[in-house]
Amino acid sequence: MLDSVDLNPQTAETLQQKIKSLASLMARTAESLSQGEPVELQHLADEIALIQDHVQKVSRQLQEHPLLAEQERYVTRSGEIIDACREIGERQQAVDLLRRLQLVKSFSPGDQEAFRQMVDQVSNLVQRLTSGNTEERRQAVRSTMGESSAFRALYELISRPEDLSDDRWLETQRLVTEAFGRDVAMAVLRGRAR
């Protein structure tokens, strides 16, 4: 097994699947034993050892992961590890979206101040995602990725406006205008910002 494991939702799903498979193997082994059938216990012991090793490696990596708050890092139970990996995946998506927004610039000198203020709001949210306590980080993800998030709306307008339905187009325009002002919304809608 690898010394390092990617920590993401797929890691959580894989670990969960391995635990389910082990539980199924243990149930079959118990059934065979109760019926007096001969059972090879070494295979079961090997599978248990592999799962324990995997859990320990993931647990050690979680202790140093920058997207987890201090109180989230020291988990050893499989359910907690799975939850932590999912949190990392959600937070990474939010950070990626916000990092893209930090790069948005307007080509019009008259919009510069509005975009500076927008980037300040984005940077504040990135700070909460990377340095806040558990609840601040969770709230930052909701603020970034929620359906009514102005940050997500701005990202959609910049990254893939052609994929938006007419209703979503109007909603994103409203959200961006309310959160960041008319100058930002108009610059993006008119193609003066990317």
Q: Are residues 75 and 93 in the same domain?
A: no
Q: For residue 102, which amino acid is it?
A: Q
**Cβ(187)–Cβ(106) under 8 Å?**
yes
Same domain flag for 183 and 93: yes
Give the per-residue pLDDT at 177: 97
Domain shared by 71 and 137, yes or no: no
Rounded CA gap, 25 and 22, in Å?
Answer: 5
Residue with tokens 């510069």: 112
For 120-143, give one letter per residue: b (16+ CB within 10 A) or e: ebbeebbebbeeeeeeebbebbeb
**pLDDT tens, residue order, the chain (194 aa):** 335 667 777 887 888 899 999 999 999 999 999 999 988 899 899 999 999 998 888 888 999 899 999 999 998 888 888 889 889 999 999 999 999 999 999 988 889 999 999 999 999 999 999 999 999 999 999 999 999 999 999 999 999 899 999 999 999 999 999 999 999 999 999 888 88
Q: Is residue 31 part of a domain?
A: yes
Asked if residue 64 and residue 42 are part of one domain, the reply reads yes
Same domain for 46 and 99, yes or no, is no
DSSP string over 51-70:
HHHHHHHHHHHHTT-TTS-G
Q: What is the DSSP letter of 7?
A: -
Q: Note the pLDDT of residue 8.
A: 77
Report the number of distinct structural domains present in the chain: 2
Based on the fold, state whether residues 97 and 143 are members of the same structural domain.
Answer: yes
Q: Is 2 a member of any domain? A: no
* Residue 133 resides in a domain: yes
- DSSP letter at 106? B
Question: What pLDDT is attached to residue 70?
Answer: 92
Same domain, 39 and 101: no
Does one domain contain both 170 and 115? yes
Residue at which a domain ends, from 85, 115, 131: 85
Does residue 22 sit in the same domain as residue 78? yes
**Torsion angles phi and psi, residue 106, rounded to 5:** -100, 145
Q: Of the candidates 64, 85, 106, which is a domain's last residue?
A: 85
Name the residue range of residue 54's domain.
9-85
Predicted pLDDT at 4: 60
Kindly state whether residue 3 falls inside one of the protein's structural domains: no
Does residue 70 sit in the same domain as residue 102? no
Does residue 53 form part of some domain?
yes
Report yes or no: 151 and 125 within 8 Å, Cβ to Cβ.
yes
Q: Which of 37, 57, 85 is the last residue of a domain?
A: 85
- Kindly state whether residue 73 falls inside one of the protein's structural domains: yes
Note whether residue 4 is domain-resident: no
| Residue 1 forms part of a structural domain | no
Tell me: do 30 and 80 sit in the same domain.
Answer: yes
Whether residue 72 is found in the same domain as residue 100: no
